[in-house]
Amino acid sequence: MIPRPMFIFFFYATTFLLFLVSLVVVLLALLVTLTLSSKLPGETALWVPGPGCGSSCVVTDEECDLLPSCYITVSVRTISGPTGVMIVMGVLGVLGSVCIGVMFWSAGRCEGSSDQTYKLVNVRFLPVAFLTILALASLLYTTISESKQPSFNLSSHRSRDSPFNGPFTRERWVCGLRSISEVEEGSGGVGVGLEWTEPACLMARTARWGVAGLFICLVVLGGFSILRWKRPGVRDRGKGVVVVA
């Protein structure tokens, strides 16, 4: 038996958490997309000193500026599927959390009619089950897509004329570029101008794993809905508890 006030509190708290997690997933995925497109528009030459560039070269040195081995030209081509799935799943999570909360509130206003309550609980369980299946599919798709990405190898593209263009997922782009954005002493800075990739990579990974958090919230809400899935005539009137049959 679960005390009714505690049940209501945890149900609404989980629904609100689902709303927040879904909103964060959408915002982070959109922010990563906008950041990548604004920071690397078209073909962009990045200062990434290699072995042939010379340890004395710095980004402001005019002689070094002419050496192809000091640069990698990138032309960002992206695989948009994972980002699109995260955005769509996040939007569905936001809308679904509002819908589930309204349905639960409506069911609470019909406590005097067990038939009405039973119908509303059944209807409320349907969007939870549907969203749970979608969230699991989205999580598997984004995780598998990211794990199958090829290695981010820049060694054969140290030229202004042979652009490195992928295609990669947006997460692989920002996290791969982050790996060359650290500053090395005496090199004039590796990946100068790529400082933005550090927070962008963190946002991309947070958005992807946010789908896992979204799935967990839906599983918990599904469990709550099952606890309230009672047939007419089996409510414990006046006892203020929810009985699990």
For residues 131 and 139, what is the distance between their CA atoms, to the nearest angstrom? 12
Residue 170 has pLDDT above 80, yes or no: yes
Lowest mean pLDDT among 11-25, 168-182, 190-204, 226-240: 226-240
Beta bridge partners of residue 47, listed in sequence order? 71, 192
CB atoms within 10 A of CB 85: 20
Residue 172 has pLDDT above 80, yes or no: yes
Residue 221, pLDDT score: 87
Residue 95, pLDDT score: 94
Lowest mean pLDDT among 124-138, 174-188, 197-211, 226-240: 226-240
Residue 245 has pLDDT above 50, yes or no: no
Domain ranges across the chain: 2-233
For residues 164 and 146, what is the distance between their CA atoms, to the nearest angstrom? 19
Q: What is the band of 68 on the pLDDT scale with cuts at 50, 70, 90?
A: low
The secondary structure element, H or E, covering residue 142 is helix 114-147
Q: How large is the average pLDDT for residues 59-84?
A: 73
Residue 56, pLDDT score: 59
Q: What's the number of CA atoms in the CB half-sphere (13 Å) around residue 159?
A: 5
pLDDT, mean over the chain: 76
